[in-house]
Structure 1
Amino acid sequence: MASSMDPAAWASPAFRWLLAGRTVTSLGSAIAPVALALAVLHLGGSATELGLVVAAYALVEVLTTLVSGVIGDRFSRTLLMRGSAWLAGLAQAFVAVALVMQWASVPLLAVMGGVNGALAALAGPSSRAVVAQTVPAEALPNAISALRLSQNTAMVAGFSLAGVLVGFFGPGVAIAVDAGTFAVAALCFTAMKVQPQAMPSSESLLNDLGAGAREVFRHTWLWVLIGQALVYHLVYGGVQGVVGPIVLTREFGDQAWGLSLAALMAGFMVGGVISLRFRPRRLLFSGTAFLALTACFPLAMALNVPLPAILLGAFVHGVGLEIFSVNWDLAIQQQIPPDKLARVYSFDQVGSYVMRPLGLALTGPLAQSIGEHRWLLATASVMAGSTALALIPPSVRNLRRL
């Protein structure tokens, strides 16, 4: 069993710069949504307008991600990462000035949300695909675990810091801090020197995109688990965004939902620590089995159990999802050719999030028609059942760690 502090990963300057850049970006990315929501409300925006601002970010991000995967395989990934970081920093600085100077508006925030969604998508696949260029192959498992653990820790700190910044200084200053984190990340990515990846020979963007799609469908385990992610986010997005907050605050008070999210993040962090040491040979079989634990959170909310049991369900959900995510990321890094890696990651990201807006739209009417607790129970059943179905293909059960 490898040490949790694999020297082959930590000895790489490129990996250390990547770790620093992605960590500080995660810190800012946790601050921004809290500050943005309060900024919209401070401007007199309604819940519907807030939803439109958030949707603008999500929609543009999904639409841009597939193109960014092609770009990430055609051009320097570090160049894309630092370029998008600088531009995102400038965009957030503009929003911060508009808020501080009090000439911002809800439509302006929606437009800038779309801009930031595009910039986030531009860097997303490249920042995941570049990991294998920063460390030796034997250090890749530890590198992935360390990156996810540091990012989750930074997000916990960011959520906490966001409330302090907005409460004492206002949303404009909080957005300015987010702009500063992008600038720091851009400096880290500038200092990160990696070997250039092999460039695909292609004739058009559509041909490159088609080659990425064919690579996805060439691996049964890959498209099966992307399909499972579609189902997962279709049903769970509404639990986290709509039904969960309503049920817990009504039954246990205003603090209950915040406590459950804290338990969820604690589960992510514990799962990351476990993944530094836990090296299953059949990585997708083990990871997918742990993914079934995510049904525990909606199941606990569906049952008449005390709040500590629900918090335990949220914690177990986080542990299971994080262990799956580490093994999933490692499977992609080890099995996909380097020149198609960013495109495959772009399909993975789109598959993970394209159904979430639909789930958010459908959850409210469905939960009202059949009852919130019944809907939570149905969600838990779908999450567990889809995970069990994903284990049927032999390629999911038998894929081996290299």
Structure 2
Amino acid sequence: MKKILKYVLIALGVILVLYAVARIIKTNSKPAVTFKTTSATEESITNKVIATGKVIPEDEVLIKPQISGIIDEIFVEEGDKLKSGDLIAKIKVVPNEQSLVSARGRVSNAEIALSNAKIEYERNKKLFDKGVVASQDFLTVELQYNQAKQELENAKNDYQIIRVGSAGGSATANTNIRATVNGTVLEIPVKEGDQVIEANNFNDGTSIATIADMSKMIFQGKVDEAEVDKLKMGMPISINLGAVQDKEFDAKLKFIAPKGVEDQGAVQFTIEADLTLPEDVFIRAGYSANASIILEKKENVLAIKEAILQFDKDTEKPYVEVMTGENEFERRDVELGVSDGINVEILSGITKDDKIKVWNKTEPMDDEKEENN
């Protein structure tokens, strides 16, 4: 009985040793990691530049007063459509006391000069009628008299302009602020009672209103310096507006800034594009917008995901690893074409039938399974 038990124990020991050896051989022969594979596919790839910006009128006109004063009355509101010459506001003049006194004194001097000239004229007229004064002498006196009358008229007009802002209250008085172009009132930055100043050599003057033609809109945005060299004048652009959903508007690139501006460490260049608007769509000035500028587009080309590309550390040339056997791969250098940031065109190096390694670990080693368990 003891011998049988001994043989049983020996047999169990041999079986355990054989199982352990088989287990070790199986573990060592099994690959540590299994990789997924993928293949190249036919894709349509568009390489485009995205520019952020806004939609604004092509021309905005600032209406400024011709004379300083206080806003007496405003006749329009923001959003009103105006024609050139329409009255926008009226200014009440607050005259400078020194200028007013000086103008009043000039009127008094002109009245005195005219009174003397009139006396001299009437005296010489009587003498001329009697034939005592020569014609040339009389014409000189008559000219001085007429000049004195004109000087008084000029002095009165100057005094009137300084006092109330216009001479005789004509329709074109400086106190009447009128539209200079056809368009829509975008902004009225002043209110009744505000003091305004005229434009001069030392000051731009106070803006009474901003007027623009809303039928002529442009996209204004910025692109990075890495992309600006790829842009060409006249390129077609697709515009998407944040305020107008599910619609794209066509535009054409018309301006690329010759000088960039640094913004948060990156150099940005301003671009502008003429926007084509349907008649049934109204766009407000200042809408935020994104512009898609197509640089290159290819249809039905052989492509792979950019994520599975690898790059040589020394030459920085792209390559992929292609399956040659069960979990065996070889390096293949590839030549790339156009890219959209997700897919990239393959010009040479692989075919549609090649199985390309995807750098994702899909099956953990047995040791890792045991640790996780």
Q: What TM-score do the two structures reach when normalised by structure 1?
A: 0.17
**Larger-gyration structure (1/2):** 2
Higher strand fraction: Structure 1 or Structure 2?
2
Higher helix fraction: Structure 1 or Structure 2?
1
